[in-house]
Amino acid sequence: MTEYSYNLVNAPWISCTDLEGNKINLGFKDVFLRAHELRSIQHQNPLTEAALLRVLLAIVHRSINGPRNGQEWKRLYQAGKFDDRISQYLEKWHNRFNLFSRDTPFYQTPGLMVVNGSNASVQVPQPITSIMLGVSSGNRKTLFNHTVDKMTVKISPSEAANVLTTAQMFSLGGLNKKTTNIFGYQFRFENSPMVEGIFVILAGFNLFQTLMLNLLIYADNEPIPNTAKDCPIWERNDIGKAVTDRKKAMPPKGYLDFLTCKSRHIRLVPEEDNNGVYVEKIHIAQGEIFPTTMANPAFMRKKSKKGTWYHPQLDIDRLVWRDSVALFTLDENIASRPKSFIQVQAMHSLIGLPMRYICAIYAIANKDANPLARRREKLNIPLSLLSDRRVVAYLEKGIGISEKGAMALGAAAYLFMSVYLPENTRPKEIRAQVNATGVQEMFWDGMDAHFNQFLIDLDEPENALEIWKAAIRQTARESLNICVNERYRNSTRTFKAWAVASSQLNTRLANLSV
């Protein structure tokens, strides 16, 4: 059997952008050596960016065995770049980063085989598409890509490394009904830990700053309880368990175990043709899972009306910024902010940090094991939004006013249809006609660009709120005109409907307030 090697320490597999905007692929070692010269990780799949950031954070934490307190974090940040400890760590564990190692393949389970249930000597490898969320496979519906199971998909080792890392954190549950040589028969898969909420980070001027801003204090009970056995998954000598009953989910051994959760037992099957080494098939089984009740330090958390905490899920019909009150609030009776927000607020008193950041939001929406949307949203925020209750209050006012603007627009569209349609049209049918216009979708899409400007202007919150109100009025009027008025033929009935609807809308928009 041919043995292949592709070591992620040096192989160029992580897609980055440098400070001049040039794209470059780097291995782990060069990513850290050049982190201060790189703008960011940039991948066409936003979930891959999120997964890679978690792995990079785990490597930094483990390399420095910390930071244990604020002063240590301050010294690391002020250095402006990572030191030799990370290179030394990567060299020490070099063999654990070989994607195709026979004994310790990176993020995989050596020796794993999916086998024929009636004849365990017959291997039944699965297509690589089974762990690619952007590709249709099995009982999963096509959404992002029109590949189907009968088509051959071959990917390079670098692509396989990205797919593997993403799958460990964002795989969806669903039927499995496969037998493996190690774990026996498994009926179903469970969701990976990052599926269960909305992942939020702060991004700085370069990748070094981004990693530091999200490098949380790592102590006995921070950012989650840590045990002496805590380590990244690639350091463990055991292959891990297969937890097929969520009631038997076990808490992670600590934050590093949590960052590198092995939610799937996977073994890539490398092959070779005239173009080089590729991966077409894998072996796969359910891996380890954590309790869904545990708090993810990088997730949005909200409090329900019953007073219980939960992680909101991505709503495909609602941009995440519309929930930014919950994301940035300082009132813990409403929501709990990501711990990076809290830490940056605290560190600002120890060290001069930038006055503006990019808040990057990553999530996947799914239903019945089918991916509905994957999303990356970026918000340009002032530091004051992380610490100043007055600024947060103006943000809350702005979001509240936008919701009222949307309600005014919806009421105007309903009034238009009530007058335009025959008099005996039932309310249900009127609402259906209003929904068919897409007027609300156009309004929120239009407000998306204005919201980032609102955040930029929040350094002067009163002025920002007035500009925001003007944008709401303009966008609401344009949405009603484009989606409703322009879609119906001019007639006496149309003119009458437009007159009463636009009059009502203008009256309600003129009185926008919280």
How high is the pLDDT of residue 61?
A: 98
Task: Tell me which residue of 199, 159, 172 sits closest to 46, measured CA to CA.
Answer: 199
Contacts of 225 (CB under 8 A, 6+ apart): 251, 254
Classify the C-alpha dihedral 219-225-227-229 as positive or negative. negative
Residue 22 — pLDDT band, cuts 50, 70, 90?
A: very high
Q: What is the distance, to the nearest Å, from the Cα of residue 46 to the centroid of all Cα atoms in its chain?
A: 7
Q: What number of H helices and E strands is found in the chain? A: 14, 16
Q: How many residues does the chain have?
A: 514
Task: Tell me which residue of 396, 213, 405 sits closest to 321, measured CA to CA.
Answer: 396
Q: What's the rounded mean pLDDT across residues 72-80? A: 96
Lowest mean pLDDT among 47-51, 304-308, 487-491: 487-491
Bridge partners of residue 365, in order along the sequence: 373
Query: Residue 193, preceding bond cis, omega within 30 degrees?
Result: no
How high is the pLDDT of residue 273?
A: 94
Q: Give the burial class of 428: count Cβ atoms within 10 A of its Cβ; 0-12 exposed, 13-18 middle, 19 or more buried.
A: exposed
Residue 198 — pLDDT band, cuts 50, 70, 90?
A: very high
Q: What is the distance, to the nearest Å, from the Cα of residue 347 to the centroid of all Cα atoms in its chain?
A: 25
How high is the pLDDT of residue 348?
A: 87
Residue 1 — pLDDT band, cuts 50, 70, 90?
A: low
How high is the pLDDT of residue 145?
A: 52
Q: What global pTM score does this model have?
A: 0.93
Report in angstroms the alpha-carbon separations of 235 from 9, 53, 59, 62.
15, 18, 11, 10
Contact 295, 286 (CB under 8 A): no
How high is the pLDDT of residue 489?
A: 63
Report in angstroms the alpha-carbon separations of 283 from 8, 261, 270.
20, 18, 11
What mean pLDDT, rounded, does the chain reach?
Answer: 92
Q: Which amino acid is at 376?
A: R
* Whether residue 124 has pLDDT greater than 50: yes
pLDDT 10s digits, 435-473: 999 999 999 999 998 999 999 999 899 999 999 999 999
Task: Please give the share of the chain, as a percent, with pLDDT higher than 70.
Answer: 96
- The residue with greater pLDDT, 306 or 143, is 306
Contacts of 485 (CB under 8 A, 6+ apart): 416, 494, 498, 502
Contact 207, 31 (CB under 8 A): yes
Q: Which amino acid is at 6?
A: Y
Q: What is the distance, to the nearest Å, from the Cα of residue 62 to the centroid of all Cα atoms in its chain?
A: 23
Contact 25, 12 (CB under 8 A): yes
* Whether residue 137 has pLDDT greater than 80: no
How high is the pLDDT of residue 175?
A: 93
Task: Tell me which residue of 38, 22, 20 sits closest to 30, measured CA to CA.
Answer: 38
The two structure tokens encoding residue 42:
């940039």
* Whether residue 319 has pLDDT greater than 70: yes
What value does the CA radius of gyration of the chain take, rounded to a whole number of Å? 26
How high is the pLDDT of residue 70?
A: 94
- Maximum distance among all Cα pairs of the chain, rounded to whole angstroms: 80
How high is the pLDDT of residue 138?
A: 43
Q: What is the distance, to the nearest Å, from the Cα of residue 249 to the centroid of all Cα atoms in its chain?
A: 23
Contact 360, 377 (CB under 8 A): yes
First to last CA, the chain: 70
| DSSP-derived secondary structure for 41-82 | E--SSHHHHHHHHHHHHHHHHHHHT---SHHHHHHHHHH-S-
Lowest mean pLDDT among 334-338, 351-355, 360-364, 423-427: 351-355
What are the structural domains, with CATH classification, of the chain?
14-286 (no CATH), 392-510 (1.10.132.100)
Q: How far apart are CA 322 and CA 346, in angstroms?
A: 26
pLDDT 10s digits, 237-285: 999 999 988 889 999 999 999 999 999 999 999 999 999 999 999 999 9
